[in-house]
Amino acid sequence: MRIPGPHPHGYVPIEGLGLVDYTAMNPSVMGASGEMISTTADLDRFFGALLGGRLLPAGLLRAMKTPGGTREYGLGLAWWQHTTCGVEVYGNDGDALAYQTWSYTTEDRRRQATIAVTPDFTGDVGAAVDTFLDRVFCGP
- Has residue 31 been placed in a domain? no
pLDDT in tens, 8-39: 788 888 899 988 888 877 767 666 655 667 78
When divided into structural domains, the chain yields a total of 1
Surface-to-core class of residue 113, CB atoms within 10 Å of its CB (0-12 exposed, 13-18 middle, 19+ buried): buried
Residue 75 pLDDT greater than 80, yes or no: no
Give the C-alpha separation, 120 to 100, whole Å. Answer: 10
Q: How confident is the model at residue 57 (pLDDT cuts 50, 70, 90)?
A: very high
- Has residue 7 been placed in a domain? no
Cβ partners under 8 Å of residue 127, min gap 6: none
The pLDDT assigned to 33 comes to 59
Give the C-alpha separation, 114 to 101, whole Å. Answer: 7
Residue 115 pLDDT greater than 70, yes or no: yes
- Has residue 14 been placed in a domain? no
Give the C-alpha separation, 130 to 136, whole Å. Answer: 10
Under 8 Å between Cβ of 74 and 66: yes
- Has residue 61 been placed in a domain? yes
- Has residue 80 been placed in a domain? yes
- Has residue 21 been placed in a domain? no
3-state secondary structure at position 81 = coil
- What is the pTM for the complete model shown? 0.79
Under 8 Å between Cβ of 99 and 37: no
Task: List the domain range (segments joined by +) for residue 77.
Answer: 37-138
The pLDDT assigned to 137 comes to 92
The percent of residues above 70 in pLDDT, for the chain, comes to 81
Q: Taking residues 71-77, what's their average pLDDT? A: 65
- Has residue 4 been placed in a domain? no
Query: What is residue 14's DSSP assignment?
Result: E
